[in-house]
A and B are shown apart, each in its own frame.
Chain A
Amino acid sequence: MSVRLASRFDALKREGRAGLVAYVMASDPDHETCFEILRGLPTAGADVIELGFPFTDPMADGPSIQKAALRALKAGGSLTRTLDLARRFRETDKDTPLILMGYANPIESMGYAPFAEAMHACGADGVIIVDLPPEEDTALRAAFDAHGLSIIRLATPTTDDNRLTKVLDGASGFLYYVSVAGVTGANAATADAVRAAVSRLKRATQLPVAVGFGVREPEAAREIARTADAVVVGSAFVDEIAAAPGPEAVERVLRKVRILSEAVRQAREPGRAMEGTPA
Chain B
Amino acid sequence: MDARRNWQDLPDAEGRFGSYGGRYVAETLMPLVLDLERAYRDAQADPAFAATMADFWTHYVGRPSPLYFAERMTEHFGAAKIYFKRDELNHTGAHKINNCLGQVLLALRMGKTRIIAETGAGQHGVATATICARLGLPCVVFMGATDIERQKPNVFRMKLLGAEVRPVTSGAATLKDAMNEALRDWVTNVADTFYCIGTAAGPHPYPEMVRDFQSVIGREARAQILEREGRLPDAVMACIGGGSNAIGLFHPFIADENVRLIGVEAAGRGIDARFEHSAAINGGRPGVLHGNRTYLLQNEDGQILEGHSISAGLDYPGVGPEHSYLSDIGRAQYLSATDDEALEAFKLCARLEGILPALEPSHALARLGDVAREVGKGGIVIMNLCGRGDKDVFTVAEALGVTL
Which positions in A face B, CB cutoff 8 Å? 54-60, 62-63, 66, 70, 73, 78-80, 103-110, 130-133, 135-136, 153-160, 163, 167, 178, 181-183, 186
Residues of B within 8 A of A158 (CB): 27-32, 190
Which positions in B face A, CB cutoff 8 Å? 14, 22-32, 170-171, 176-177, 179-180, 183-184, 187-190, 286-291, 293, 296, 298, 300-304
The 4 closest A-B pairs by CB, nearest first: A109-B302, A106-B302, A78-B301, A156-B28
- In the complex, the answer to whether B24 meets A110 with C-beta atoms within 8 Å is no
- In the complex, the answer to whether A133 meets B31 with C-beta atoms within 8 Å is no
- In the complex, the answer to whether B26 meets A130 with C-beta atoms within 8 Å is yes
Given A59-B184, A154-B27, A136-B22 contact (CB < 8 Å): yes
The docked-state distance in angstroms from the alpha carbon of A172 to that of B119 is 39
B14, B26, B27, B183: the one contacting A167 at CB < 8 Å is B27
Residues of A within 8 A of B290 (CB): 57, 59
- In the complex, the answer to whether B171 meets A57 with C-beta atoms within 8 Å is yes
Residues of A within 8 A of B176 (CB): 57
A58, A78, A157: the one contacting B28 at CB < 8 Å is A157
Residues of A within 8 A of B170 (CB): 63, 66
> Interface on chain B toward A: helix, strand, loop, or mixed SS?
mixed
- In the complex, the answer to whether A56 meets B27 with C-beta atoms within 8 Å is no
- In the complex, the answer to whether A106 meets B303 with C-beta atoms within 8 Å is yes
What 5 new A-B contacts, CB under 8 Å, besides A60-B184, A158-B190, A182-B188? A105-B287, A106-B302, A109-B298, A156-B26, A183-B187
B27, B188, B298, B300: the one contacting A133 at CB < 8 Å is B27
Q: Which residue of A lies closest to B32 (CB)?
A: A158
- In the complex, the answer to whether B30 meets A108 with C-beta atoms within 8 Å is no
Minimum C-beta distance from A18 to chain B (A): 22
Given A57-B289, A59-B290, A158-B190, A105-B302 contact (CB < 8 Å): yes
B177, B188, B300, B303: the one contacting A181 at CB < 8 Å is B188
- In the complex, the answer to whether B288 meets A73 with C-beta atoms within 8 Å is no
B27, B183, B289: the one contacting A156 at CB < 8 Å is B27
Given A130-B26, A131-B24, A135-B14, A110-B302 contact (CB < 8 Å): yes
Q: What are 21 A-B pairs at a CB distance below 8 A?
A: A54-B303, A55-B303, A57-B171, A57-B176, A60-B184, A66-B170, A104-B24, A105-B288, A105-B304, A106-B303, A108-B302, A109-B287, A131-B24, A132-B24, A133-B30, A135-B23, A136-B22, A158-B29, A181-B187, A182-B28, A186-B188
